[in-house]
Structure 1
Amino acid sequence: MIISRTPFRVSFAGGGSDLRAYYRHYGGAVLSVSIDKYVYLSMHPYFNGDKFLLKYSQHELVDEVSQIQHRIIRQVFGEFGIRGVDFNSSADVPAGTGLGSSSAFTAGLINLCHAYLGRHVSREILAEQTCELEIEKLGEPIGKQDQYACAIGGLNFIEFLDNERVRMERVHMLPEQLRLLEQNLLLFYVGNTRSASVILTEQQQNMSESPQKIQSLHRMVELARTLKNELQNNHPDALGEILHAGWMYKRELASQISNPTIDEFYETARRAGATGGKLLGAGGGGFLLFYVPAAQQPAVRQALNGLYEMPFTFDFTGTSIIF
């Protein structure tokens, strides 16, 4: 049996600038971190010949790759020539919650198939292959940040160049300041899992029609660059106001990114002492992230006591074969 483990990610600044409709004209930049919430994929030979037994949110037992209903599994197994396997998927967090679960799954699956065939490839190549499969082959209207964040792991500044190249820079901080950054981040689940594709499709259409939305993305890229400098200078408290400014820009990019319920949760946390925050992922639901100094954390938790808080720490391993 082969088992892969791939982290989910939290994006701090610049989200949306990793869409091709933007970076091919202006270049994009994102700052994000992977976290200790994972998708686990396992695979071993199926006992009954060349059949496929697949267990994820659904169960499938089929004879041919072409009969597989899960489009990512079908595409990857077809490309790798995988036959006769028992495949299992489980995750710490549901899909559609804004933590990059789709790209984490795809990166983990590609890594799993390489290992199953006895091959080792770098995490950078895994990120590239994940982008190619999701965006080019499956035609998903998504950006490139999740594939790199989940495949490579860690706290990173990621640039998306207009020639399709991706440049990744590890953000280095003093250990005690990195711990402070980690400890001052709170994550609350607001529900309403959603499809990112619908929101991102609208967002890309809006880019071609609204110069104001392009200007918002310009400001969001500037915030990502500012945040990189602040963190490298060991100023973690700068994250709060940068999160807030970025969220004010982001929520204007598409109609379904926020809603009155999300807005009320956000303002409640701010009144209780959060210096900033944002809804993670494309929008519409999932997790709200807040930066909250330690002294204000009890008040914020009390103000949001109806929401589930998910504790987390940073991950620096990326996608890995653990068995």
Structure 2
Amino acid sequence: MIISRTPLRVSFCGGGSDLPAFYREHGGAVLSMSLARYVYLSMHEYFQSDGYILKYSRVETPKTLGEIEHRILRQVFEDYGIRGVDFNSSADVPAGTGLGSSSAFTVGLLNLCNAYQGRYEGRTTLAAKACEIELGKLGEPIGKQDQYGCALGGLNFIEFHPDDSVTCESVPITQAMRERLEAGLVMFYLGGTRSASEVLRKQSEQVKNSKRALGSMQAMVRQARSLRAEIMSDVDLIGPYLHEAWQRKRSLADGITNPRIDEAYERAMAAGATGGKLLGAGDAGFLLVYAPDEARAQVCAALPDCKAYDVRFDSIGTTIIYSD
């Protein structure tokens, strides 16, 4: 039995600039944090060695590789020559809620398959391979930030270059600053799930066809660069940065926000939050807000209909937590 654990992620600034339609022309950048909420994947030899048993949100018992319906599992098992396994997936939060769970699944699966075959690949290699699978082989209209944010762990500044290369820089903050950041950040689950693909497809088209949307995206990249430099001196700046980033993002395309999201955000701000944003592509999932000191309790009281979740750093990234 081998078990991999891969963190989910939150993106503070620059989300959307990791889409190929944007970064191949203009270059992109995000400031991203790995979250101490995880996707867990396990695998061991299947009793019936001529087939598979695959347990995720449903159960498959295909006899051959080609019969596997889960596209990521089928592609990775084909690439790595995985046969005759019992596979299981579980996660701390539902898929489709804006925390990068699909890419965390891919990264964790690659790590798991390497360990199963007695091989090792570094975290940046795993992220790059996950991008190749999701964007290249499977043709998903998504970006590259989730794969790196989930693979690496910690607080990272990630740049996406026109030649498709990616560079990652760990952002050093003190333990006291990290604790203050964690104490001020809170996620509210607004309900619902969604596929990011359609929202991101619309966003890419809007950036291509609208000078206003393009200008907003370029400003979001500048924001990410600026916050990367300033957060090391004052973590409380993240509130106003999140607010500005959300105002820009919600104007990029239809489907990013809705009346329920807007109303929850307005209540949080009125109660003392200094900023926030919806996590992920849009329309559903988690609202992240920054509410330092006494404002945190006030904001939680102002959103009694939304379950609040603490935000804690994961500093490790994808890892193998059990092997026997």
Shared topology, TM-score over 0.5?
yes
User: Unaligned regions of 5+ residues in structure 2, if any?
Assistant: none
Report what 1:39 is aligned to.
39
How big is the shift at 1:293? 1.1
How big is the shift at 1:232? 2.1
Report what 2:282 is aligned to.
283
Report what 2:163 is aligned to.
163
Residue 235 of structure 2 aligns to a residue whose secondary structure is: coil
CA RMSD of aligned residues (A): 0.7
Question: How far, CA to CA, are the matches of 1:246 and 1:170 in structure 2?
Answer: 21
How big is the shift at 1:49? 1.9
Letter in 1 for 2:110: I
Question: How far, CA to CA, are the matches of 2:9 and 2:188 in structure 1?
Answer: 15
How big is the shift at 1:231? 1.2
How big is the shift at 1:264? 0.3
- Matched-pair contact (CA < 8 Å) for 2:24–2:162: yes
Report what 1:298 is aligned to.
297
1:225-276 Cα deviation digits (max 9, x unpaired): 111111122x011000000000000001110000011000000000000000
Please list, as runs of the form range in 1=range in 2, the aligned pairs for 1:244-259 lying within 5 A after superposition: 244-259=243-258
Letter in 1 for 2:265: Y
Question: How far, CA to CA, are the matches of 1:271 and 1:160 in structure 2?
Answer: 36
- Matched-pair contact (CA < 8 Å) for 2:2–2:320: yes
Report what 2:90 is aligned to.
90
TM-score (normalised: structure 2): 0.98
1:35-87 Cα deviation digits (max 9, x unpaired): 11000000000011221000100001111010011010011111111110000
Residue 4 of structure 1 aligns to a residue whose secondary structure is: strand
- Is 2:269 the partner of 1:267? no
Residue 63 of structure 1 aligns to a residue whose secondary structure is: coil
How big is the shift at 1:182? 1.3
Please list, as runs of the form range in 1=range in 2, the aligned pairs for 1:1-323 lying within 5 A after superposition: 1-233=1-233, 235-323=234-322
Letter in 2 for 1:2: I
TM-score (normalised: structure 1): 0.99
Residue 158 of structure 2 aligns to a residue whose secondary structure is: strand
Residue 294 of structure 1 aligns to a residue whose secondary structure is: coil
How big is the shift at 1:312? 2.9
Letter in 2 for 1:140: E
Question: How far, CA to CA, are the matches of 2:210 and 2:251 in structure 1?
Answer: 11
